[in-house]
């Protein structure tokens, strides 16, 4: 099997071969990937530094051309890339293809943005002087990504970084080197100059840490756990570098008595369990008013019973496996904690055996839970959701906001008054009305409040806040 190597300064560089294992079939090796070390990280950072002056001053058409070519290739290959994604991460094939398409659309969006760079010219308060405000590239950007969106998250960080003229050191999560390598390969062949994008597939504690410790990285964009996010922020403060963190969520979906039951159940099934619940925007807390509670739980349980949990690439699969043994252990640990805390497991939570050996877990639903329970405070990151019964809208809003996180917050209601009040008062970066908490557009800002995010928003035109720095120039005319 070919070894997929790291990309440093325009060259493919060897490293210890690590097998990429399919969580739907642990006998299957998706590919062999070279593990980078701390010295590779240092070389990659130096290459990105050396490439920065020329790339940041390259013509707009050079940047547009590369991003455009990458977009076209990703979109043309979305089925193949989606299958690779499903095989290495365990999302269903449909979800994998959807995510690959999204990556293509993101590159397409930022290809367009290269041609829309603009500044402002205004008069000075002092007569005879002009003031110009322009956006400039930040410099060398470190990009550290998690395993749950193996192609979309790298795309939504790499595309704006390159669009605005930065150079990149990209460290993907160890579990999903396949999609990361494919993006690097596509951009390399699309004509990126040497050193502009460097791929270092290594351990967080080694390569990631080497990036945090480097004085030569100007900005780090990170998505992952709160614990690692804290380290990224602390190390970045030490080096006075720009930082953007996307971390966890414990997202509420409020269901009010006046909700359309089918809509509410659809939102809960999709938001809590699709992608095996492994989304930072997953609705792990279902906050339900008492008038609809029993009907909602009965209808949701019926839907869960009918969900097909199987090999991610098999026709008809709705829920793929959990990503690996560690995550499965964590999910099972939380299911045990929930039971010990007195929550009622009304469905699921059992390990499942399928034709191929994989990390299959039946979606789990708890009822009779209190918001103070650990299963409602801590991010589980699996196909596990809790129902929290509340009296009325006011209590629902209080419970929804009573969390250290604030990424996405949803409500199902037919009341305009409650929907409007919720949009204004939900403590979250994103609010969904009659829609799942997960599933967002690629051309608008993504990010949260409180413990979920730190630094400027990602995606859409707001990405410029992080990937550029503003220069103010004065001219005596
Ligand atoms: P998850 O629970 O999603 O794996 P992590 O925060 O552990 O979350 O991982 C997210 C990304 O951060 C991964 O690419 C991982 O390798 C990286 N990472 C982990 N530890 C460190 C570290 N000490 N320094 C930098 N990056 C790290």
> Domain of 419: which CATH number?
3.40.309.10
- Crossing angle for the helix pair 93-114 and 152-163, to the nearest 10 degrees: 10
Q: Are residues 25 and 152 in the same domain?
A: yes
Establish whether 280 is a catalytic residue: yes
Atom of ligand 1 nearest to the CA of 227: 6
Is the distance from the beta carbon of residue 221 to the nearest atom of ligand 1 less than 6 Å?
no
**440 part of a folded domain:** no
Rounded Cα distance, 119 and 133, in Å: 5
Is the distance from the beta carbon of residue 236 to the nearest atom of ligand 1 less than 6 Å?
no
Rounded Cα distance, 422 and 439, in Å: 19
Sheet containing 3-4: which strands, arranged edge to edge? 3-4, 25-35, 16-22
Is the distance from the beta carbon of residue 204 to the nearest atom of ligand 1 less than 6 Å?
yes
Q: Which residue out of 18, 35, 146 has the highest number of ligand 1 atoms within 8 Å of its CB and is therefore the one to mutate?
A: 146
- Look at the chain and report how many structural domains it folds into: 2
Domain coverage including residue 125: 3-247+452-476
Which CATH number fits the domain that encloses residue 102?
3.40.605.10
Instruction: Pick the residue whose CA is nearest to atom 26 on ligand 1.
Output: 208
Residues 278, 382 contacting (CB under 8 angstroms): yes
Q: Are residues 166 and 283 in the same domain?
A: no
**357 part of a folded domain:** yes
Marked catalytic residue, from 89, 99, 246, 332 = 246
- Crossing angle for the helix pair 290-306 and 261-268, to the nearest 10 degrees: 50
Residues 383, 284 contacting (CB under 8 angstroms): no
Residue identified by tokens 């390159």 is 162
Rounded distance from Cα 411 to ligand 1 centre (Å): 32
This prediction's pTM: 0.98
User: Which whole-number Å values give the CA distances from 353 to 28, 91, 380, 449, in the listed order?
Assistant: 16, 17, 22, 39
Rounded distance from Cα 146 to ligand 1 centre (Å): 7
Q: Are residues 157 and 270 in the same domain?
A: no
Q: Are residues 170 and 82 in the same domain?
A: yes
Q: Are residues 76 and 123 in the same domain?
A: yes
Instruction: Pick the residue whose CA is nearest to atom 2 on ligand 1.
Output: 225
Q: Are residues 27 and 78 in the same domain?
A: yes
Rounded Cα distance, 92 and 100, in Å: 12
H or E stretch covering 433 = strand 430-433
Nearest of 162, 241, 222 to residue 196 by alpha carbon: 162
H or E stretch covering 420 = helix 416-425
Is the distance from the beta carbon of residue 145 to the nearest atom of ligand 1 less than 6 Å?
yes
Nearest of 166, 172, 175, 144 to residue 247 by alpha carbon: 144
DSSP 3-state of 428: coil
Is the distance from the beta carbon of residue 278 to the nearest atom of ligand 1 less than 6 Å?
no
Regions in the chain scoring below 70 on pLDDT: none
**439 part of a folded domain:** no
**193 part of a folded domain:** yes
Is the distance from the beta carbon of residue 212 to the nearest atom of ligand 1 less than 6 Å?
yes
Instruction: Pick the residue whose CA is nearest to atom 13 on ligand 1.
Output: 173
Is the distance from the beta carbon of residue 231 to the nearest atom of ligand 1 less than 6 Å?
yes
pLDDT in tens, 167-215: 999 999 999 999 999 999 999 999 999 999 999 999 999 999 999 999 9
- Which residues does residue 16 pair with via DSSP β-bridges, in sequence order? 35
Q: Are residues 241 and 266 in the same domain?
A: no
Q: Are residues 86 and 126 in the same domain?
A: yes
Instruction: Pick the residue whose CA is nearest to atom 15 on ligand 1.
Output: 204
Q: What is the pLDDT of residue 477?
A: 79
pLDDT in tens, 409-430: 999 999 999 999 999 999 999 9
């Amino acid at each position: 099997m070919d070894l997929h190597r790291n990309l440093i300064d325009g060259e493919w560089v060897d490293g210890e071969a690590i097998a990429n294992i399919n969580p739907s079939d642990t006998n299957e090796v998706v590919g062999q990937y070279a593990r980078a070390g701390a010295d590779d990280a240092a070389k990659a950072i130096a290459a990105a530094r050396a490439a920065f002056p020329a790339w940041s001053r390259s013509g707009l058409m050079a940047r547009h051309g590369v991003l455009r070519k990458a977009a076209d290739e990703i979109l043309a290959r979305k089925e193949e890339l989606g299958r690779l994604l499903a095989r290495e991460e365990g999302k269903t094939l449909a979800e994998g293809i959807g995510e690959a398409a999204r990556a293509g659309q993101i590159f397409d969006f930022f290809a367009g943005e290269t041609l829309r760079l603009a500044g402002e010219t205004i008069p000075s308060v002092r007569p005879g002087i002009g003031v110009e405000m322009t956006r400039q590239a930040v410099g060398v950007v470190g990009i550290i990504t998690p395993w749950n969106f193996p192609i979309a998250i790298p795309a939504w960080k790499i595309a704006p970084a390159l669009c605005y003229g930065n150079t990149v050191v990209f460290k993907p999560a160890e579990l999903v080197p396949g999609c990361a390598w494919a993006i690097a390969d596509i951009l390399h062949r699309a004509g990126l100059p040497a050193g502009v994008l460097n791929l270092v597939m290594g351990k967080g504690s080694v390569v990631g840490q080497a990036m945090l410790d480097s004085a030569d990285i100007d900005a780090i964009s990170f998505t992952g756990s709160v614990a690692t996010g804290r380290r990224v922020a602390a190390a970045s403060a030490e080096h006075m570098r720009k930082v953007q963190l996307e971390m966890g969520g414990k997202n509420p979906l409020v269901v009010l008595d006046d909700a359309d039951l089918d809509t509410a159940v659809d939102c809960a099934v999709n938001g809590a369990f699709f992608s095996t619940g492994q989304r930072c925007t997953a609705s792990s807390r279902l906050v339900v008013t008492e008038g609809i509670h029993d009907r909602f739980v009965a209808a949701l349980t019926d839907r869960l019973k009918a969900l097909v949990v199987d090999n991610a690439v098999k026709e008809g699969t709705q829920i793929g496996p959990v990503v690996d043994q560690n995550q499965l252990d964590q999910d099972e640990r939380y299911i045990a904690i929930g039971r010990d805390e007195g929550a009622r497991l009304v469905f699921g939570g059992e390990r499942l055996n399928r034709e191929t050996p994989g990390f299959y877990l039946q979606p789990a639903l708890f009822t009779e839970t209190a918001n103070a329970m650990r299963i409602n405070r801590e991010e589980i990151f699996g196909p596990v959701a809790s129902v929290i019964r509340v009296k009325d809208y006011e209590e629902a809003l209080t419970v929804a906001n009573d969390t250290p996180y604030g990424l996405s917050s949803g409500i199902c209601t037919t009341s305009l008054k409650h929907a409007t009040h919720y949009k204004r008062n939900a403590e979250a970066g994103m609010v969904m009305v009659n829609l799942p908490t997960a599933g967002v557009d690629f051309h608008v800002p993504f990010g949260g409040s409180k413990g979920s995010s730190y630094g400027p928003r990602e995606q859409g035109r707001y990405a410029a806040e992080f990937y550029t720095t503003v220069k103010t120039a004065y001219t005596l005319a």
